[in-house]
Amino acid sequence: MKVTIFGATGALGLECSKQCLEAGHDVTVLARTPSKLPGELRDRVTVIEGDGLDADAVERVLANGAEAILFAIGVDKQSPEDLCTDVTRHILAAMPRHGVRRFVWCGGGANLVDDDVVSFGAKFVEWFAATFMGLRHRDKVNQLALLESHKDVTWLGVRPLQMRPGPMRGEYRLGFEAFSGLSKITFADCAHAMIGMLDDDTWLHKAPIVQY
Q: Are the C-beta atoms of 87 and 52 separated by less than 8 Å?
A: yes
Per-residue pLDDT, averaged over 111-130, amounts to 95
Position 77 scores a pLDDT of 85
2-211: CATH homologous superfamily?
A: NAD(P)-binding Rossmann-like Domain (3.40.50.720)
Instruction: Give residue-wise pLDDT tens across range 41-95.
Output: 999 999 999 999 999 999 999 998 999 999 999 998 889 999 999 999 999 999 9
The domains of the chain are located at 2-211
Instruction: Give residue-wise pLDDT tens across range 163-188.
Output: 999 999 999 999 999 999 999 999 99
Instruction: Please state, in angstroms and as integers, the Cα–Cα distance from residue 76 to each residue in 95, 105, 138, 191, following that order.
Output: 27, 17, 12, 19
Is pLDDT at 141 greater than 90 in this prediction?
A: yes
CA 34 to chain centre: 19
Q: Which of 160, 144, 152 minimizes the C-alpha distance to 206?
A: 144
Cβ neighbours for 26, distance < 8 A, ≥ 6 positions apart: 1, 2, 3, 46
Percent of the chain residues topping a pLDDT of 70: 100
